[in-house]
Amino acid sequence: MLSNLLTKFAIDPVIHITPLKVLTIGGLDITNSMLYGVICSLIILVLLVTVARRMTVFPKGGITQFVEVGTDFITDTLKSALESEEKAVKYAPYFIAIFFFILFSNWLGLLPIVGEAFTAHGEPLTRPFTADLNGTLAAAIITWLLVQYFAIRESGFLKHMRHYFNGSLKNPLTLLLGIFEMFSDLTRIASLALRLFLNVAIGEIIITVFSALGGVAGPITALPFTILELLVGALQAYIFVMLSIMYLAVAVKHGAHEEHETPEDHLTIDEVVNAEVNNVSN
């Protein structure tokens, strides 16, 4: 009896890996993820502009404080990575924007209205923007291009190219390793994009599968995984920004290191040994 009831409500999980076309405007195919991406962007734009207008010296609480905490957090991370407050403030706008974009795209994608709820010609009308490889690839490519641009502006084109070729240029191995290094720099695009896409898309699949397994109790069985996805969405936004900040720090800091040599570099071995001996005897 009970098993009959359960099988009656059980539905086959519908899993989409790729986004689906919903409409065509002037020869350009609009997919469901693009549609929801534009909606999310508008929501984020309105939210951030409203928060920026309501910003006061004394925190008000609510969503304003949430955005302030996020902004502060990214600026602090930049400051500790670049070791300079001036540079951190200079590069903060892009990283804060991409952080909130990914965070809110992930979280708005978990709403029950996204997916099979609204359909056009039998295909879902909305899909989380970050659950589409095209979207995350675009975010990764723009981040990579901007990191290259920031690094070139900071240390000059030749010096930026030189940091791939580490060592004497007369050595042929340096050339080989340098080209290899450049290729490994390019793979960062793929790794950034794939990580975000796979985390979000697989989260969606897991929620779908567990709500289908639950049958009548679908909402209850899917709840723990939805809460887990809230955590994963925030974590992936943090990881995306953290890794791009690390790439920027590696590219920018290299030029600064060669200019400012610490006085300790000029000490002879005897002086260092004497200093060590004095330390130990004290």
What is the smallest separation between the CB atom of 11 and other proteins, expressed in angstroms? Answer: 19
244 binds other proteins (CB under 8 A): no
CA distances (Å), origin 185, targets 155, 233, 258? 18, 25, 22
How many binding residues for other proteins (CB under 8 A)?
15
Which residue from 32, 71, 136, 199 is in contact with other proteins, where contact means CB under 8 A?
A: 199
Which residue from 30, 152, 194, 256 is in contact with other proteins, where contact means CB under 8 A?
A: 194
Which residue from 97, 243, 250, 256 is in contact with other proteins, where contact means CB under 8 A?
A: 243
171 binds other proteins (CB under 8 A): no
**Rounded to whole angstroms, how far apart are CA atoms 200 and 239?**
13
What is the smallest separation between the CB atom of 30 and other proteins, expressed in angstroms? Answer: 24
15 binds other proteins (CB under 8 A): yes
188 binds other proteins (CB under 8 A): no
Residue for token digits 């990575």?
81
Choose among 207, 223, 61: nearest CA to 131: 207
Point out which span in 37-45, 195-203, 208-216, 269-277 binds other proteins (CB under 8 A). Answer: 195-203
208 binds other proteins (CB under 8 A): no
**Rounded to whole angstroms, how far apart are CA atoms 102 and 233?**
8
Point out which span in 37-45, 89-97, 159-167, 236-244 binds other proteins (CB under 8 A). Answer: 236-244
**Rounded to whole angstroms, how far apart are CA atoms 228 and 236?**
12
Binding map of other proteins across residues 56-95, x = CB under 8 A, - = no contact: ---------------------x--x---------------
Which residue from 48, 146, 152, 198 is in contact with other proteins, where contact means CB under 8 A?
A: 198
What is the smallest separation between the CB atom of 247 and other proteins, expressed in angstroms? Answer: 12
Nearer to other proteins (CB atom), residue 171 or residue 191: 191
Nearer to other proteins (CB atom), residue 15 or residue 182: 15
**Binding-site ranges for other proteins (CB under 8 A):** 15, 17, 77, 80, 191, 194-195, 198-199, 201-202, 238-239, 242-243
